[in-house]
A and B are shown apart, each in its own frame.
Chain A
Amino acid sequence: MSDEELLNKLREAFKEKIIESSIPRKNIVNIVVPKESYKEVIKFIVENFNIPHIQTITGIDMGNEIQIIAHLGRSITINVKTSIDKNNPQIDTITDIIPGASFYEREVYDLLGVNFIGHPNLKRVILPEDWPKGVYPLRKEYKPEHPKPLRGV
């Protein structure tokens, strides 16, 4: 199936729920959907286009909101984008549709503070145990610096 056919099928199925869609380069399809339709769009893609593979989930701090992008696919890449409010970052999990997404969601939770509702094992995966709670390194307001040395030189 070519990328145009795929995009047309998605447009037919979801009509006004898709905020924006484009094909920026060959074999890359971008669609932007509201938070509520994120999970059903991914479910549709997995079931109808025979794409069981998720590449990763990216989280970006855009200032007022956090953008979540789910990259799916093997030969054609479909990027499903959605935005959530930074003060109350919550979104549905997709681990019941694609079990392989569990570590990616945990990483976004750890580094950006997004809560994935329904995740079976949402806990720290990448930051050390003694990292202070509530501090999210990938948010723009966090400024990186070295930890204090244990001994003077």
Chain B
Amino acid sequence: MGIINWARSRSPWIVHLCTGACNACDIEILAALTPRYDLERFGVLLKGSPRHADIFIVTGPITRQMKDRVVRIYEQIPDPKFVVAVGTCTMSGGAFRGCYNVYEGLDAVIPVDAYIAGCPVKPEAIIQAVATLVKKIRSG
């Protein structure tokens, strides 16, 4: 497997960006880090700076004002990186489909590796997604 993959899979660090969401998914992501669901037992840490992170978690329909920031943060994360689109809004615009200030999903802006559906996403679904991603990293 290689020591780098082993290290990366044991402690995936995440950076989180909210691009105009209603906050429900963001609060559920934070709730996943608290003692009831405890994502930190996977070694996941929420970092502030994109340069320290492996996984880029995005919530919310991408608003026009935020699209440059999304691209910029994506470029700042060092390779290899994984992008996780959390919530229905990132997948297709969600409840805001058809609004004039909102893109049709995160696909329209950056390439995405994983999607988690839900409005909002339940913390159990986030744990399942992280566990699947970790398994994928370990298998190379």
**Interface residues of A, Cβ cutoff 8 Å to B:** 127-131, 137, 142, 144-147, 149-151, 153
Contact = CB atoms under 8 A, between A and B. Distances in A.
Interface of B: 63-65, 67, 71, 93, 97-104, 107-111
Nearest to B70: A150
Contact of A146 (B93, B107, B109, B111): B93
Given A149-B109, A151-B109, A128 B63 contact: yes
Contacts of A131: 64
Nearest to B112: A153
Instruction: Provide the main secondary structure of the chain A interface.
Output: loop
Given A142-B100, A147-B101, 16 more contacts: A128-B64, A130-B64, A137-B100, A145-B98, A146-B97, A146-B98, A146-B102, A146-B103, A146-B104, A147-B102, A147-B103, A149-B107, A149-B108, A149-B109, A150-B103, A151-B108
Given A137-B100, A144-B100, A145-B100, A150 B65 contact: no
28 contacts: A128-B64, A128-B65, A129-B65, A131-B64, A137-B100, A142-B100, A144-B98, A144-B99, A144-B100, A145-B98, A145-B100, A146-B93, A146-B98, A146-B99, A146-B103, A147-B100, A147-B103, A149-B103, A149-B104, A150-B67, A150-B103, A150-B108, A151-B107, A151-B108, A151-B109, A151-B110, A151-B111, A153-B108
Instruction: Provide the main secondary structure of the chain B interface.
Output: loop
Which 9 residue pairs are nearest across A and B when measured between Cβ atoms? Answer: A149-B108, A128-B65, A144-B100, A128-B64, A153-B107, A146-B104, A150-B109, A137-B100, A147-B64
Contacts of B108: 149-151, 153
Contacts of A151: 107-111
A147 B67 CA distance: 11
